Amino acid sequence: MDLETAPSRSAQPDRRSVILRDALFSRRAEVQKSWPELLSSQLLESLGSAAGEVEAFLNGNDSALAPPGPESSGWLASDEDFWGGLYALALGKHLDCRPAAAPPSPLFPADLKRLSPPERFQRLLARYRCPANIAAASEFDVAEELLRQLMVVERTNLEAGRAFDAEGVLLALSLLGIRALITRDLRSFDALNYFFEMPRESLVRFRSNPRLFASWLCLYVQLLSTADWLQ
Amino acid sequence: MIASSIASGARIAAEVEKIAGVEVFVVLCNAGMRPPITRWMREVALLLKSLGGWSPGKLWRDRRAGKLLVLRQTLDDPQSTELIRSLRCDVGLHAANVIYREPTISAFRLGILNAHIGVLPQYRGRSVAEWSVLQGDATGVTVFFIDSGIDTGERIVVRELVPRAGCDSVSKLKRRLFARDAISYRKAIEALMSPGFRTEKNDTSKGLRYFVMSKLLTQAVTGILRAE
């Protein structure tokens, strides 16, 4: 057969889905077993009233992990602040959102590159007060830039043992986790896989922000529980 | 041919030189990669490993004829750029682990070709063979003229689909794809030399940039390859 015209024979979609699902469920079991090593009881307590919910969620079974994400690709508003919205999405709860007008000033990838880490953190928190908006069609370029910064810049820093912006990385992982949950973008999901596979001594630096750390782990467990990635 | 080792440069040059009327220069670009002793020990080891794919006599003749050049400085150094420009080459072939800046790209009349082990415009960036398998798409090699972005160069010259039957691991699949580089470059040069040939636009809006794949998804890809 001519190489230029011979397509690669692909495994049937259902077979690929089964293989992927098995791998994800196996990782989920690993996360459910090992999360207390990352999120110590002291950190968990620092979450206040949310601690019990986070603990129950991370130990949860399949039925507790079936999140319906907001389906709109337009801009949304919610009465919750960023942290309330993040918790709702991370814990698989319903987040009450309504269509709204997008902010008048767009955020450009170049802005993300130019801002200092604290400025970038605050800008992202303000723009994604309703965190589901990271999945809006208008935010594609920003989400791609966040993914690039994570998987190129921060990954390289972490792997080389250099200093990295732990809070910024956690925020980006949480936003990309939400994007993956809503849009089923496997690349965004895999950023969470990649960072979970980093050496534990790197991950403990995420303890500097227990709220984001807990949200990331909850979002990660949700993503690992999702079976329809290849449909 | 901009190569990071004599062995890879000689291997690709041997294939491209099959085209009548084509003259190939191999520019070895390993300056700054490692300390000189380890760098040249690596060169010798790679040459011995690829024995049979090159002839010591031809290598010697090429060196004497000025067709095998060794850069003393890094590729971006103005002296390197000037040396490459002085060769007055039509096309550069990428076989080095470097990022090209504009002065190097424009030192070639038409630009520098890259044999990307993914199908463009759909799959840009890293781990693209793995991502293609995971998403049930074809695997292949695309030869295109690079620009300063990541697989965003607008002119595609050749795209070949490469079957993955018999590849039961990611490393075997990647070896198969990487091994196509010499033939793909030859086909690209032949295409560029054919009358009326027009490049295809690499429409980046039709694809995505991919990143290094996690161990978890790589493990799933291995499972899929074994099931195919």
| Phi, psi (degrees; rounded to nearest 5) at B218 | -65, -35
Can you give the residue ranges of every domain in chain A?
14-224
Q: Is B151 helix (H, G, I), strand (E, B) or coil?
A: coil
pLDDT digit string, tens, across residues A186-221:
999 999 999 999 988 888 888 989 999 999 999 999
- CATH no., domain B115-228: 3.40.50.170
Per domain, the residue ranges of chain B are 1-109, 115-228
ipTM metric: 0.91
For the segment B139-163, what is each residue's pLDDT rounded down to a tens digit? 999 999 999 899 999 999 999 999 9
Residue A60 has phi, psi (to 5 degrees) of -65, 165
Q: Is residue A11 within 8 Å of residue B228, measured between CB atoms?
A: yes
Q: Cα-Cα-Cα-Cα dihedral of A184, A185, A190, A192, to 10°?
A: -70
Query: If you measure CA to CA, which chain B residue comes closest to A147?
Result: B211
Instruction: Please report how the helices A210-224 and A166-183 are oriented relative to each other, as an axis angle in degrees rounded to 10.
Output: 30
Please count the residue pairs, one from chain A and one from chain B, whose beta carbons lie less than 8 angstroms apart: 97
Q: Is the backbone peptide bond immediately before A67 cis, with ω within 30 degrees of 0?
A: no
Cβ neighbours of A196 in B, within 8 Å: 214
Q: Residue A6: its chain B contacts at CB < 8 A? A: 161, 163
Phi, psi of B222 (to 5 degrees): -60, -45
Contact A97, A76 (CB under 8 A): yes
Is residue A191 within 8 angstroms of chain B, CB to CB? yes
Buried/exposed B140-164: b ≥16 CB within 10 Å, e otherwise: bbbbbbbbeebbbbebbbbbbbbbb
Quote the tokens at residue A70: 């907001």
Q: Is A3 exposed, middle or buried (0-12, 13-18, 19+ CB in 10 A)?
A: middle
Task: Report pLDDT digits (tens) over B81-137.
Answer: 999 999 999 999 999 888 889 999 999 999 999 999 999 999 999 999 999 999 999
Q: ∠ CA A159-A160-A166 to the nearest 5 degrees?
A: 65
